[in-house]
Structure 1
């Protein structure tokens, strides 16, 4: 069987935009890298079931920095550009789709705000709200210039959760049907944690929060009645003897909600954890990504395969995944994908 994945990229060196790759599950290999949407630095992607793609967008045609989110109809290859929501300032770092409310959320790392867009009938977007992050800066050099929201997506009860790396804060907002945000709670991490990304086990209301700057993962209890978090456990994502630079990046949970996976950029590894009975984590594996700066990864449809993109070495790596143990085993390395930063399965 052939499964297709979209790859978001930087376009600093040799990338031209959004790529598609194939996974041949019978031959157990990645194949057929092709450009499917030309755009500047689409570092994060989200696609609807109708094949409408929302991509981080940076426009380099003007003298000043301009960025935002672009909309493509991917029912044809190459995709058809429907809209560019471009304005002065840098591009977003994250984009997510709220199917129930027909909204799109973006987090702008450098500008320090989260935006909400309503999805129109043709798939294009209309801005409905924008919230600026405010708080005390963290102690690390990467936090010296203030707020840096890196992630905006849904909680188990369909509130919006925002991870702000610059001010060590996780925000929770109520979202109205009209796409307006109202603050519910703020969770303060340990100083210098640098919250980047969070994934949930909905049935237990456990949130697994990655700290980019600290190379740690925290297990949080999410309390729907108050929309707030409390800390349960914190673990390192890298070995204790690793002294060189590392930045923890992506986190994903297997669909059986038994295993957590985190990428390490610098240590260039995937840390694998088992979720034990109380929802806490126990690390069971650390495996090399066979490339430099693994920013993102994803599963095949049945989660028996696992794909990582290594941004700085222009490669993707394929693993088999044991559903019983959760562990990964290398199958293929050095598959060419330019400047990969995001991996999402095609619908």
Structure 2
């Protein structure tokens, strides 16, 4: 069986934009990398069910940075650009699609702005609302101000925003016309650096990864109150690792049994077992066979995991044992230039 994935990239060196690759599940191999959409630093991409791809885009205008989203019609490869939504300043770090309400969300690490877009019938976007985060944390390297790094839906259709710069996770109510109103704000331990979050609805908890701390926290999520309570925090790397590490992506298996986190520096995928109470136990560290794994993802039935390594321009493929959660490397050194995001095709 052939499955396809979109790869978001930086374009600082050899990459030219958004790529597509194939996974042959029978041969257990990645194949046929193809440039499908030229874009500037499309570090994150999201595809709607209508086969519109919303890709981060960074350009320049009169010598100044502009950034935002580029919209592609992805019904055929290469994709056709249909619109751009760019504003002064650097581009966002994250984009997601709300199919039920036809919204797109972005989190802009550089400007501190979270944006809600309304999707028109042709897939193009108009701004419905924005909020600007403020504040900072104690780590000077990445906490000089607010840096929202994630904006996506909670299981109860609120918007949750992880702000790496000010150590907060904010839950917003989302109106039918795309307006945001703050429901709650969870403050992490100083210097945690919250980056991404996933929800375990079976246990009413969320798993929050901290980039700057190389920690993962288990948060109880109260849907009635729309708020979080800390239950557990543990490391994503060994206690004796003293070189730099930045925890990055976090994924939860659909059976709610295993959590995976990529470590940039220690260069592993950490595997955690979900216990009966929803808390986590670290059970494995698997080499990514490269350097700086910003993202990874499952295939359709979660029997494979694909990771992309930004600094070594390669992807690694693993089989995944659903019973144990363990990963086994089956292919490495598949060339992917400056890979940042792995997104299964819609």
TM tier, smaller: over 0.9
Structure 1: where are the runs of 5+ without partners? Answer: none
Which residue matches 1:42? 42
Q: Distance in 2 between matches of 1:103 and 1:232?
A: 32
Q: Is the 8 A contact 2:143 2:164 kept in 1?
A: no
Which residue matches 2:104? 104
1:187 matched to 2:189: no
Q: Distance in 2 between matches of 1:330 and 1:292?
A: 15
Q: Distance in 2 between matches of 1:142 and 1:179?
A: 33
1:134 matched to 2:114: no
For residues 169-212 of structure 1, give each alpha carbon's deviation from its aligned partner in whole angstroms, at most 9, with x where no partner exists: 01000000000000011100000000000000123221000000
Alignment of 1:85-104 (within 5 A): 85-104=85-104
Structure 2: where are the runs of 5+ without partners? Answer: none
- How many Å apart are 1:76 and its aligned residue? 1.4
Q: Distance in 1 between matches of 2:143 and 2:29?
A: 43
Which residue matches 2:250? 251
Q: Distance in 2 between matches of 1:242 and 1:204?
A: 31
| Equivalent pairs, count | 346
**Structure 1 counterpart SS, 2:141:** helix
Question: RMSD of the TM alignment (CA)?
Answer: 0.8
Q: Is the 8 A contact 2:137 2:144 kept in 1?
A: no
Q: Distance in 2 between matches of 1:40 and 1:80?
A: 15
Q: Distance in 2 between matches of 1:38 and 1:94?
A: 18
Q: Distance in 2 between matches of 1:40 and 1:62?
A: 16
Q: Distance in 2 between matches of 1:62 and 1:212?
A: 34
Which residue matches 1:291? 290
Q: Is the 8 A contact 2:203 2:277 kept in 1?
A: no
Which residue matches 1:200? 199
Runs of 4+ aligned structure 1 residues displaced above 4 Å come to none
- How many Å apart are 1:134 and its aligned residue? 2.3
Q: Distance in 2 between matches of 1:12 and 1:217?
A: 30
Q: Is the 8 A contact 1:117 1:126 kept in 2?
A: yes
Q: Is the 8 A contact 1:207 1:220 kept in 2?
A: yes
- How many Å apart are 1:144 and its aligned residue? 4.1
**Structure 2 counterpart SS, 1:178:** coil
- How many Å apart are 1:225 and its aligned residue? 1.3
- How many Å apart are 1:61 and its aligned residue? 5.0
Q: Distance in 1 between matches of 2:53 and 2:221?
A: 30
Q: Distance in 2 between matches of 1:143 and 1:164?
A: 11
Which residue matches 1:302? 301
Q: TM-score when scaled to structure 2?
A: 0.99
Q: Is the 8 A contact 2:46 2:97 kept in 1?
A: yes
Q: TM-score when scaled to structure 1?
A: 0.98
**Structure 1 counterpart SS, 2:19:** strand
